[in-house]
A and B are shown apart, each in its own frame.
Chain A
Amino acid sequence: MLKFLRQAKDYAQEAVQAARYIGQGLAVTFDHMQRRPITVQYPYEKLIPSERWRGRIHFEFDKCISCEVCVRVCPINLPVVDWEYNKEVKKKELKHYSIDFGVCIFCGNCVEYCPTNCLSMTEEYEMAVYDRHELNYDGVALGRLPYKVTADPMVTPLRELAYLPAGVLDPHNLPPGSTRAGQQPEEIVAQHQAQKPSKEINQ
């Protein structure tokens, strides 16, 4: 009899515990309801890419000295540099330059090593095409500048995670004037310039 009673008691306790856990779960779900949505309504809203975003590579034709460093540092020797040696001025003359973004892995080595800074990263990432060969950008296509998300009148720019203050994940409806965690790039520059004179005095 006592054993049966204990069984019944245990059973009741388990039932109550299960009900409590379901209640806790419901509370969590309910709490989620008042959080703001993290949806980005893509064609109408776009995230602002962070400043270290590695997007489509921009190339300045006139700055290039055809040194082919980009080809050597590229993991797959992707950039095609077509040049001719001009004997009169004893310089290489660049004729064509192209990168196939269907093959590029956006590692950024070429940009890093380019001695004349003629390669740079842009924030463009919308490179959907109907034919993969359209992704083989020539010098002219590489020289185009992408649309800035913030300048596009059709698009509401949303700040990405890196631009948001600490503890906030949501780009929608941020209070005005809120900045992301850490220092902004211009603040770093300002700090750097403020340090420079003091260093010079020390020397």
Chain B
Amino acid sequence: MNPGIDLQASVIHVLTDLGVPEDLAPVLWVPLPLLLMLAAATVGVLVAVWLERKVSAAAQQRVGPEYIGPLGILAPVADGLKLIFKEDVIPAKADPLLFTLGPAIVVIPVFLSYLVVPFGQKMVITDLGIGIFFWIALASVVPIGLLMAGYASNNKYALLGGLRAAAQSISYEIPLALAVLAIVMMSNSLSTIDIVQQQSGYGILGWNLWRQPVGLVIFWVAALAECERLPFDLPEAEEELVAGYQTEYTGMKFGLFYLGSYVNLILSSLLFAVLYLGGWESPVSVSWLVGLVGVPENTPWVEVITASLGVVMTLFKAYLLLFLAILLRWTVPRVRIDQLLDLGWKFLLPVSLVNLLATAALKLAFPVAFGG
């Protein structure tokens, strides 16, 4: 298997060539992908917000934002600027420390989870051995921030929203983890890179999509619930709870919640793409195509094209899933809290356990197809 381009090695090489001492060069490299990822995640959110508004408009036979930049693409930027310049109000009877800390605790784990999202063989910030488990562990920290925000607001709607968010998050984490576990069992590794590698080689036919159809549905439902997307947006159900835990927030603190929810949605879509849709693999295997043309695989321009195609493919799959999430938003009505918990504990949990068991059985029976 061709490792593709190694950005880290080449950047460090360039730095040492420029006269940077050998010890210092890797240290200089460390912040680069982090900053790049932070910027990419934020830009990804802008795109997601624009898509959300445009697709929602199309689903309702409206036009959507049109005059802020061509096709309204600057609308999310305008939103963000407005939130930055808004006055930051802390309610008089709120707890100022927890009130400020809450949004940060919600956003930081989500951004940290981007550490393990791969865009290519070497296009990942860190290939952690515990890869996907790292994401699940970090996602479980988010409800603490929500509870904190809900409690510190000193508002009954905020507290109810926070409690609902925590209950929902805890209930849906279990089916989510079990669905991921089935994938991990097939690829014999928690690392996101290994999970994609295990799906590679046969183009679209090798993706986990075909091996885990049930797990895919469970993962998607649970991911939507974790992101508090519309069929499951009880924590901020505006008809009953004003805006849930966000009720008292304005300015950039509200902006952090807003940003966090979209970053989380994109993250879930990216990880869905990695787990079930073959990550950076294209529907037709690139190495096979390259072999067809007859160019050696380690030619520089082929490597560059493969790498950029990988990034494009990952993003394309993620945004396709985002589109599906928006469609679902305008199709499915919000569930009640008891229906939500019913679905999580009485349907998704048993089904995901059965799925796990079936995957284990299939792995023993057909080790060739299910990663023996």
Please give the residue numbers on chain A whose beta carbons come within 8 Å of chain B beta carbons, in ascending order.
15, 22, 25-26, 28-30, 32-33, 35-39, 41
Contact = CB atoms under 8 A, between A and B. Distances in A.
A26 B230 CA distance: 14
B292 to A, nearest CB: 35
B59 A33 contact: yes
Given A22-B332, A32-B60, A41-B66, 5 more contacts: A29-B59, A29-B327, A29-B330, A30-B327, A37-B61
Chain A: interface secondary structure? Answer: helix
Q: How large is the interface on B (under 10, 10 to 19, 20 to 34, 35 or more residues)?
A: 10 to 19
B71 to A, nearest CB: 13
A37 B331 contact: no
B328 A33 contact: no
B58 A32 contact: yes
Interface in B6-58: 55, 57-58
B55 A33 contact: yes
Contacts, number: 35
A35 B61 contact: yes
A9 B332 CA distance: 25
A29 B332 CA distance: 10
Contacts of A39: 61-63
A46 to B, nearest CB: 16
Interface string B329-348: 01110000000000000010
Contact of B61 (A26, A28, A38, A41): A38
Interface in B308-341: 327-328, 330-332
B328 A26 contact: yes
Interface in B217-257: none
A30 B59 CA distance: 7
Contacts of B60: 32
Nearest to A34: B58
Given A37-B63, A39-B62, A26 B57 contact: no
Contact of A29 (B57, B62, B331): B331
A173 B61 CA distance: 14
Contacts of B332: 22, 25
A30 B60 CA distance: 10
Interface in B61-80: 61-63, 66
